[in-house]
């Protein structure tokens, strides 16, 4: 009887335990799967954000180097420093050097991500170096002639870059050794002659500090290696992997997973691993670089994130109340009376979870709404008629209106300038069509009368009932437009004299020829060549020659009307396009200009010539742009013939040539 009683008691105790275990295991297993999925999603989102952050920082650095190398001051200094020196030459060279030193230090302070900027001439000599590391004497000038960086950079074309692998650099003021990357690009003259190399040393430790800092992402650890598996993060505390160590040695399982595929996920013993690859030689499409060269055995970089892998025990131990409830369920399940208590407890627990989820959902919805309203770009939705049904605060602020003044009341087309409405209409019709998406660059009319250049990308929200509304993202293009205008001005301007160049003359000539053909007004052209300019350069130096060119440009401007077009064709050759000017008027203008030049010596200094004033003259050829000519080339040839005739007749003359 005792044996039977104990057997019954044993089965009575085992059966509820087995039953409760069978009921609870799928639930907690589902929680574990859900927690794992959330951990994987969070890790993937964080990895994508950090990858984009690193890629954007690298692209910004590349663009900053490419913008800096276009400064005419750098090109002029490298070009001048390799020429024969003179006292005036030395003064100009020292002035340029001081200006570049101030420029480099300003760039170091403004950008904040570089430790050193250097300018290297064609022979590999370092002409100028600026650094953020404080030291009493100036940094030593390094000879780069035999370095791999200089050899790679001097083989590049304009717009190309060489990027070195991350390396340990100098110690900062706290005696902390930092990591650095060298970015180099060749320097060319506008005519395409190679002058030297511009070198930026990027503070890699600062760029990747958010990856190396273990406190920023709690238990999450970032991994960054090169193609060989060498560790590329510096700092991170005493437990961090040393810079340059092999990940295959420090964490073999992680390296085996990362080396097997360009991107993906892997489950390690205690971690969930997600990883990306980034090859700076090909993944720079948002930068202005043409081609990027780097050491091939170090690319691509491998960026990973290792998040703690959830376990069933961790899930159970996260909540002390939950663990106690499980124990209580097991205890109460031994008796039949406890079944009702367990069911009541489960209902209450589920109700609390539902309330918690509801609060979390409302909080998440509020965060999403705040992100929508205050995004760095504009968002709006339109109905099929183009009426605004939704618009975020960012775009409302751009336009200068309140939401109640626009939403449901105004057509979005009303805010598009007349000149860009056709592009908007075409894009909106694409959204309404089967394509369901469209894009356009337009200008918005703001309340204060100003215009805002934007790019609009829209897609259609479609259900079984058909088109519901469009969703559009609006990007502010003001900064890009300013950069494009600046680059266009540089492409059209001679940097020495500030006059338009040959390309500018051709553009202006196309407009003036078309205007002359419509109105029948005469159009004249003057070709100018400074006499004995080679002798001036050979005798007094190119810096004096530059002063003569600049003096001529200033004198010529004073003699011309506002509508006349004065350009430098190259060297000492200039051209003037005279709209609405007859032959007789053009000859008078040319003769007056010739006499003024001959009577206006250039102030060059006592050290150059006795009296400090250098006289010079010019020969001029004059012609008319004939009716029916579609370009300026025939007139340029005729004017050049007149110019050659003036030189043959003894120079300092004005000669007409009718063709």
* Catalytic residue list: 572
Q: Tell me the three state secondary structure of residue 289.
A: coil
Phi-psi region of 242 (alpha: psi -120 to 50; beta: other; left: phi over 0): beta
Q: Where are the alpha helices (DSSP H) in 374-419?
A: 393-399, 403-406
Residue 61 φ/ψ, nearest 5 degrees: -65, -45
Residue with the two structure tokens 């356009």: 440
Parallel/antiparallel/unpaired status of strands 301-308 and 437-445: unpaired
Q: How far is the C-alpha of 530 from the C-alpha of 574, rounded, in Å?
A: 9
* DSSP output for 506-521: HHHHHHHHHHHHHH--
The three-class DSSP label of residue 286 is: coil
Q: Which two tokens stand for residue 373?
A: 């309203």
Residues in contact with 66: Cβ distance below 8 Å, sequence separation at least 6, in sequence order: 159, 161, 185, 287, 288, 289
Beta bridge partners of 382: 388, 470
CB 233 within 8 A of CB 222: yes
18, two tokens: 């087995």
Q: 271-274 — which CB contacts under 8 Å span 24+ positions?
A: 271/221, 271/306, 271/307, 271/308, 271/309, 272/36, 272/39, 272/40, 272/43, 272/306, 272/307, 272/308, 272/309, 273/223, 273/304, 273/305, 273/306, 274/40, 274/43, 274/44, 274/47, 274/304, 274/305, 274/307
DSSP H or E stretch at residue 26? helix 2-69
For the chain, what's the residue count? 659
Q: Determine the Cα–Cα distance for residues 441 and 370; give it in Å rounded to an integer.
A: 27
| b/e burial code for range 449-475 (CB count within 10 A of at least 16 → b) | eeebbbebebebeeeeeeeebbbbbbe
The token duo for 410 is 């105004």
Burial of 59-91, coded b for 16+ CB within 10 Å and e otherwise, reads bebbbbbbebbbbeebbbbbbbbeeeebebbee
Tokens of 233: 């993060």
d(CA 466, CA 639): 68
Nearest Cα residue to 119 out of 109, 137, 140, 104:
104
| Residue 112 zone, left/alpha/beta (φ > 0; ψ -120 to 50; rest) | left
- CA dist 243 to 18, 179, 229, Å? 53, 8, 11
Two structure tokens written together for 47: 């990895």
Check whether the bond before 588 is cis (ω within 30° of 0): no
Please, which residues have CB within 8 angstroms of residue 103's CB and are 6 or more apart in sequence?
Answer: 71, 73
Scanning 244-392, the segments in alpha helix (DSSP H) are: 247-250, 252-259, 312-317, 320-332, 338-373
- Cβ proximity of 352 and 440 under 8 Å: no
107 vs 202: CA distance, rounded Å: 12
Collapsed DSSP state (helix, strand, coil) of residue 163: strand
């Amino acid at each position: 009887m005792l044996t039977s009683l104990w057997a019954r008691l044993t089965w009575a105790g085992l059966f509820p335990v087995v039953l409760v275990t069978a009921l609870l295991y799928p639930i907690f297993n589902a929680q574990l799967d859900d927690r794992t999925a959330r951990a994987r999603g969070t890790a993937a989102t964080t990895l994508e954000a950090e990858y984009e952050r690193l890629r954007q920082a690298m692209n910004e650095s590349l663009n900053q180097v490419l913008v800096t190398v276009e400064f005419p001051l750098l090109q002029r200094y490298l070009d001048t420093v390799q020429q024969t020196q003179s006292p005036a030459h030395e003064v100009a060279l020292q002035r340029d050097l001081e200006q570049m030193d101030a420029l480099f230090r300003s760039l170091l302070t403004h950008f904040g991500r570089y430790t050193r900027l250097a300018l290297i001439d064609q022979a590999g000599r370092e002409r100028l170096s600026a650094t953020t590391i404080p030291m009493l004497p100036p940094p030593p000038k390094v000879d780069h002639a035999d370095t791999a960086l200089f050899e790679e950079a001097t083989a590049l074309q304009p717009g190309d870059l060489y990027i070195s692998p991350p390396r340990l650099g100098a110690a900062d003021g706290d005696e902390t050794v930092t990591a650095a990357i060298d970015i180099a690009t060749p320097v060319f003259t506008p005519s395409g002659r190679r002058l030297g190399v511009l070198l930026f040393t990027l503070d890699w430790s600062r760029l990747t500090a958010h990856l190396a800092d273990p406190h920023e992402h709690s238990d999450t650890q970032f991994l960054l290696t090169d193609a060989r598996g060498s560790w590329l993060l510096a700092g991170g505390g005493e437990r961090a992997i040393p810079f340059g160590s092999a990940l295959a040695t420090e964490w073999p399982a992680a390296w085996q997973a990362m080396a097997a595929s360009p991107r993906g996920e892997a489950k390690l013993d205690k971690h969930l691993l997600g990883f990306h690859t980034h090859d700076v030689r090909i993944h720079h499409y948002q930068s202005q670089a043409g081609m990027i060269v780097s050491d091939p055995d170090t690319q691509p970089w491998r960026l990973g994130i290792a998040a703690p892998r959830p376990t069933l025990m961790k899930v159970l131990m996260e909540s002390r109340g939950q663990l106690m409830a499980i124990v209580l369920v097991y205890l109460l399940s031994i008796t039949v009376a406890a079944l009702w208590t367990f069911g009541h407890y489960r209902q209450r627990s589920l109700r609390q979870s539902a309330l918690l989820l509801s609060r979390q959902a409302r909080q998440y919805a509020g965060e999403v709404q705040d992100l929508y309203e205050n995004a760095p770009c504009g968002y709006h939705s339109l109905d099929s008629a183009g009426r605004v049904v939704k618009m975020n605060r960012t775009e409302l602020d751009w336009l200068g209106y309140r939401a109640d003044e626009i939403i449901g009341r105004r057509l979005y087309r009303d805010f598009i300038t007349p000149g860009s409405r056709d592009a908007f209409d075409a894009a909106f019709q694409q959204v309404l069509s089967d394509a369901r998406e469209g894009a356009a660059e337009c200008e918005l009319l703001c309340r204060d009368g100003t215009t805002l250049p934007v790019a609009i990308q829209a897609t259609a929200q479609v259900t079984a009932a058909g088109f519901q509304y469009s969703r559009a993202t609006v990007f502010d293009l003001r900064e890009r437009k300013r950069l494009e205008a600046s680059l266009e001005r540089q492409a059209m301007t001679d940097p020495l004299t500030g006059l338009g160049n040959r390309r500018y003359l051709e553009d202006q000539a196309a407009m003036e020829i078309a205007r002359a053909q419509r109105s029948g007004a005469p159009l004249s052209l003057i070709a100018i060549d400074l006499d004995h300019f080679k002798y001036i350069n050979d005798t007094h130096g190119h810096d004096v020659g530059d002063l003569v060119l600049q003096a001529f440009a200033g004198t010529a401007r004073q003699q011309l009307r506002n509508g006349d077009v004065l350009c430098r064709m190259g060297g000492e050759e200039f051209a003037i396009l005279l709209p609405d000017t007859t032959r007789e008027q053009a000859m008078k203008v040319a003769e007056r200009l010739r006499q003024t030049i001959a009577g206006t010596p250039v102030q060059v200094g006592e050290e150059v010539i006795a009296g400090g004033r250098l006289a010079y003259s010019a020969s001029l050829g004059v012609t008319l742009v004939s009716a029916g000519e579609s370009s300026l080339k025939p007139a340029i040839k005729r004017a050049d013939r007149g110019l050659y005739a003036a030189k043959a007749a003894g120079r300092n003359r004005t000669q007409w040539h009718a063709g």
